[in-house]
Chain A
């Protein structure tokens, strides 16, 4: 078996992004980093568990410009508060407000960033016990303080209100 090319490894996003913004004239971003990581084993099999889906995708907002597919980065489409929508629907969510790979992806198929249809199938087949009645949207506003002090506690509260046993988080 031949060796893979040197560049065929996960993209070093932190290094690329650091170099990129320094060259553009901005300061270095500091990513969150912890020595300790919490761990809670699931109590029940997934077939008897209720799962909460959390996404960074944004609800489509009429009047704030092109939100795709294939839209340029659209900061006006961002959201700054946790939102929730019914999990038994097909919501109109977009990802024009985040820095996805616009060279190699056009964001034409929402199922690439929101596995809601697959989750609904998993419930039907009995692989999963249930979805919580709502899925939740987590803001991506680059403020770690706001995420830690406001958004994460709010998402926990909503997951608990909905009786979530486990959670699936999907950054876009």
Chain B
């Protein structure tokens, strides 16, 4: 998505990204970014929380209007939950047994094979 934002921007269309993966988006380098410190999959706000979804869009629009230069990141003030321990879980090897790691590998090989078939058909 960052690559697409850059391409649109370079061709005269101002862009803003809403997202949850701060390091990846900033590493690529994008014009404007509204960052929500939420689990991946919630770029546009919290589930069944219309107020948080409205605020997230409003913040993104303000970033679009007011960013003074490229690489402008604004972090939403919303928190996923008070306890931040959810951040320790995502792909964290320290929290997995060798059996779980072996299972993940098997799953990933399966996913890659399906994606390859699908890509070749497309």
Binding site for B on A (CB under 8 A): 4-5, 7-17, 19-20, 23-26, 31-42, 45-46, 52, 54, 56, 73, 75-76, 78-81, 95, 98-101, 103-109, 111-115, 117-119, 121-122, 127-128, 138, 141, 144, 147-148, 151-153, 155-156, 159-160, 164-172
CB distance from A103 to the nearest CB of B (A): 5
By the criterion CB–CB under 8 Å, are B39 and A20 in contact? Answer: no
Q: CB-CB < 8 A to A108: which residues of B?
A: 47-48
Q: Roughly how many angstroms separate A169 CA and B44 CA in the complex, as a whole number?
A: 10
Main secondary structure of the interface of A (DSSP, over half): loop
By the criterion CB–CB under 8 Å, are A156 and B39 in contact? Answer: no
For the A-B complex, the count of residue pairs with Cβ-Cβ distances under 8 Å equals 243
Binding site for A on B (CB under 8 A): 1-19, 21-24, 27-31, 35, 37, 39-48, 50, 53-54, 56-58, 60-61, 64-65, 69-71, 80, 84-93, 101, 104-105, 107-108, 111-112, 114-115, 118-119, 122
By the criterion CB–CB under 8 Å, are B42 and A138 in contact? Answer: no
| Apart from A24-B104, A171-B17, 20 more pairs, CB < 8 Å | A4-B84, A13-B21, A14-B24, A17-B91, A34-B6, A39-B70, A45-B65, A78-B115, A81-B122, A103-B39, A104-B80, A105-B42, A115-B18, A118-B53, A155-B4, A166-B15, A167-B13, A170-B1, A171-B1, A171-B21
